[in-house]
Amino acid sequence: MEFTAEQIAGLLNGEIEGNPETIVNKLSKIEEGESKSLSFLANLTYEEYLYTTDASIVIVNKDLNLSSSIKDTCTLIRVDDAYQSFTKLLETYNQEKTNKKGIEKQTFISESATIGNDIYVGAFAYISDNAIIGNNVKIYPQTFIGDKVKIGDNTILFSGVKIYHECVIGKDCIIHAGAVIGSDGFGFAPNDNNSYDKIPQIGNVIIEDDVEIGPNNCIDRATMGSTIIKKGVKTDNLVHIAHNVVVGENTVLAGQTGISGSSKIGKNCMTGGQVGITGHITVGDNVKIAGQSGVSKNIKNDQVLQGSPAFTYKDYMKSYAYFKNLPSIIARINKLEKNNN
């Protein structure tokens, strides 16, 4: 698709410096800009590229003072916030790319399923009995939707997503390729034969509105009741959320975070990569946990944690100042003991 500078400025409420008829049909980084590409400058570290780029249109802040002349082939669009404006364009561009409709051949849709308007179902997708699919839902190829699953309007399921029976997905969600929603929780009881009996997992998973689940996430169904991912949660790649966990609104989980069964995570929390949270604990609201930390006890609101086992970031950094110097401290102690003898 092609757009003119005038069209883009109209969308962003921007001011044009240059040719309003300049045409672009692709996006680029400013340092890699080429003819007919659209770029932006928000970080002044990259300002030097503004004067050498071959990009045809560059979005910049209104208050940017040019220190040199740009190329005649480059048109500027000045906006209040270049980063936010470019993000808006990316969203528009992505919506156009994913705006598929229709049901492709070689799909299976149960006669008892309820299908909304303007949906897309890709090849080899399978929609089971009594599933309810909302309006404008996108179901990419090789996706499985189990019995009695409910999916809200405008949700996107990318290729290979598996949603087990009776799970509920809200509106405006994005679930990326390979994610498994509603597989059995890790429930086994030791028996007298030194083996394990499987505990039936009869609950489900509820994902509320505006949630984004990263590729290859696993969210286990509850033993009883529901595993709940609340509104606005975002998860990175390879996150595991175990049975009966509750993740609070607008919490963000980075890659390889693991949350054990029945733990409750508050709202507006953030975890770094490879964070582990043990089972049956409560993490309060607005908690930040640094990467590779291990959390094994209840955490109050507004804490910042690091370490394994995790403790407050401030205490961790004080301790680190000592234990990183342990070899030299031990050498000094040994020297003192030797002199005393």
| pLDDT 10s digits, 284-336 | 999 999 999 999 999 999 999 998 888 888 888 888 778 778 888 888 888 88
Check residue 288 and give its pLDDT: 98
> Is 280 assigned a catalytic role?
no
Check residue 322 and give its pLDDT: 80
Check residue 320 and give its pLDDT: 79
- The stretch 161-166 carries a mean pLDDT of 98
The angle that helices 313-323 and 326-340 make with each other, rounded to 10 degrees, is 50
Percent pLDDT > 90 in the chain is 85
Question: Which ranges of the chain would DSSP assign to H, the alpha helix?
Answer: 5-12, 47-50, 82-97, 313-323, 326-340
Q: Which residue type does 176 have?
A: H
- The stretch 98-113 carries a mean pLDDT of 94
pLDDT confidence band for 156 (50 / 70 / 90): very high
pLDDT at residue 153 above 90? yes
Structure token pair of residue 105: 């051949």
- The stretch 209-236 carries a mean pLDDT of 98
Contact 67, 60 (CB under 8 A): no
Check residue 309 and give its pLDDT: 84
Question: What are 57's strand-pairing partners?
Answer: 38, 75
Global confidence as pTM: 0.85
The Cα-based distances of 316 to 275, 301, 306, 319, 335 in angstroms read: 16, 18, 6, 5, 28
Complete domains list, the chain, with CATH = 3-97 (3.40.1390.10), 102-317 (2.160.10.10)
- The stretch 72-94 carries a mean pLDDT of 93
Between strands 252-253 and 270-271, the pairing is parallel
**Mean pLDDT of the residues in the chain:** 95
pLDDT at residue 266 above 80? yes
Please pick, among 176, 240, 243, 280, the residue that the annotation labels catalytic: 243
The strand order across the sheet containing 150-151 reads: 114-115, 132-133, 150-151, 168-169, 204-207, 226-229, 246-247, 264-265, 282-283
Check residue 139 and give its pLDDT: 98
How is residue 71 annotated by DSSP? P
Check residue 292 and give its pLDDT: 96
| Residues in CB range of 99: below 8 A, 6 or more apart | none
The Cα-based distances of 313 to 233, 291, 296, 318 in angstroms read: 24, 12, 15, 9
Check residue 340 and give its pLDDT: 81
pLDDT at residue 239 above 80? yes
pLDDT at residue 1 above 80? no
End-to-end CA separation in angstroms for the chain: 84
CA distance 150 to 138: 14
Q: Is 134 helix (H, G, I), strand (E, B) or coil?
A: coil
Check residue 7 and give its pLDDT: 95
Check residue 96 and give its pLDDT: 77
pLDDT confidence band for 83 (50 / 70 / 90): very high
